Amino acid sequence: MASKDQKSFMKDLKNVYTAPTEEAALLELDKLEERWLKKYPLPIKSWNDNWGNLATFFEYPEEIRTIIYTTNAVESLHRQFRKVTKTRSLFPIDDSLKKMLFLAYRDISKKWAMPLRNWSFVISQFSIIFNNRLMPFL
């Protein structure tokens, strides 16, 4: 996708996954398709082909959906690791890479102190939805 279109496309896509219901999301997906299908058929095809899996997202309350699409900790961690390692193309020994990643992790984890919005509500909803499977881990 051309960088000049990325921001507009992502704004239109955000309307899909922030829609209040699955039906509203399908309407937004249709709008996305009307606007972008000719120029970028692959992302549109991917969303349409995988809608059955993506639609399960709308079975959760809005508070849980917000956490799902705003809190991708793994992607964030990988991005931070990549930022640290991309300037180094060679590590003399494996331990030097491990040490660098450990130190980066230590710095990155300090930023994780911010609580998630509505966490008490979200955790209670998870408990209801998943029949208390979560309780041993709390």
What's the pLDDT at 70?
A: 63
Q: Where are the domains of the chain?
A: 3-59, 64-137
What pTM, to 2 d.p., does this model score? Answer: 0.61
pLDDT of res. 61: 84
Q: How does pLDDT run along the chain (138 residues), one tens digit per residue?
A: 788 888 999 999 889 888 888 899 999 999 999 999 899 999 999 999 988 888 888 888 888 887 777 656 677 788 888 888 887 777 788 788 888 888 888 888 777 776 677 778 888 888 888 887 877 777
Measured distance CA(54)–CA(29) in Å, rounded: 12
Please name the residue ranges forming H helices in the chain. 3-17, 22-36, 41-49, 51-54, 62-70, 73-85, 94-109, 119-129
Quick one: pLDDT at residue 72?
65
